[in-house]
Amino acid sequence: MSDWLTAQEVMDRLGLKPQTLYAYVSRGLIEAREGEGDARRSLYRASDVGLLEYRKLRGRRRSMVAEDAIAWGEPVLASEITTIAHGKLWYRGEDAERLSQTAKLEDVARLLWNCGSARFPTQHWSIPTGEVKSLLFAALGHRAAHDGPMQGRSAEDLYLEAASLLDLVTDVVAGGSGVGPIHSRLGRAWNCRRTGSELIRKALVLLADHELNASTFAARVTASTGASLAASVLAGLAALSGPRHGGMAGQVEGFLEETRGSTAIDAIKGYLADGSPIPGFNHPLYPDGDPRARCLLDGIKLPNDFAGLAAAASGMPGLKPNIDFALAAMTRHLDLPPDAPFLIFAIARTTGWIAHALEQHKTGRLIRPRARYTGPTPRWEG
């Protein structure tokens, strides 16, 4: 099916009049663009039409609206931090791709935290040896158990604590305290040359935040209880550890392993036949392709198997690499540790989790949604 529909196709599917279709476009419910070769003939995004069609079939009871909203649906809370619009990622109105060309993660942290003067003093943590992911949970768990709540703290005090947490997470991943920008510290720890450290810098900036994803929502819910910044970051890390979130880059390598027993095209067709998402490709919020992947892949010479998979996917309509594919490719390109995608993700997203925790703290509101009960009818005797 085409990614774009004609006006008549949209009106037939949704039962609309022309004026109603134009109203939907003006309200941002359906994206429109000029038709190829004819600027007077507009085309309309099929995925937007499909979502409206689905909602029409289900009806718009309040319970259904709420349930749809938490699964790639309508926004559920207000935030000034990050948005995805026009196929791009924006940090407080700044284009994340443009920022990734020169900015350090520390620069983006100041932007997301809305504190241009925040300092990142070098601290000296005693980092034990061990499996890095376990050490991350242990270090943040210790801080969460002992740090005080955000309530009653000055903004400057909270920014210092935020910088301290980012430094701690970086030191755990790098295997000890260090000086210099975060990407340089990681580059030294992983024996990267300057070009490798620059790729890590770009990845960190592109991954710093991504609106209200699963781990960010977990961090905001935790912050809404009045818990500490460390507890909020720990909640984000816990959610990130799941295979459908921070573990997706690892699944790309697993998918590549599958293609070695057949052809990449056959492997892709197998996933499509099962209706399964293809690891490393497409993103619900970027119908025209993940801009973070495009940006990061610009600086990477794809290993042969990655190049073959990308070429096979490019021959199928609508399949475009996402950030997980790019992270996995960068890891292989730079010969980084196998868990580097998750660790880079965790350091980068710590800045976003903190930004959302600070914003949620300022609202003074508890996030407490209701469940739509589907169990046995309560036996009430009144």
Rounded distance between C-alpha atoms, residue 301 and residue 304, angstroms: 9
Query: Tokens 């990267």 — which residue?
Result: 192
Q: Which of 48, 167, 183, 283 is catalytic?
A: 283
3-state secondary structure of 14: helix
Q: Which of 324, 339, 356, 361 is catalytic?
A: 324
Q: What single-letter amino acid sits at 251?
A: Q
Rounded distance between C-alpha atoms, residue 270 and residue 258, angstroms: 11
User: Cβ neighbours of residue 333 under 8 Å, at least 6 residues apart?
Assistant: 199, 300, 301, 302, 303
The CA-CA-CA angle for residues 181, 185, 189, to 5°, reads 170
Torsion sign (Cα): 320, 216, 67, 365: negative
Instruction: Count Cβ neighbours within 10 Å for each residue of 283-305 and write b for 16 or more, e otherwise.
Output: beebbebbbbbbbbbeebebeeb
Q: Which of 68, 107, 147, 245 is catalytic?
A: 245
How many alpha carbons lie under 13 Å from residue 332 in its C-beta half-sphere?
18
How many CB atoms are closer than 10 A to CB 168?
A: 22
Rounded distance between C-alpha atoms, residue 208 and residue 337, angstroms: 21
Rounded distance between C-alpha atoms, residue 204 and residue 103, angstroms: 10
The DSSP line for 258-275 is HHTTS-HHHHHHHHHHHT
Rounded distance between C-alpha atoms, residue 199 and residue 327, angstroms: 10
Active site residue 245: yes
Q: Which candidate, 95, 126, 151, 142, places its Cα nearest to that of 294?
A: 95
Long-range Cβ contacts of 24-29 (<8 Å, 24+ apart): 24/52
Please give the positions annotated as active site: 245, 283, 324
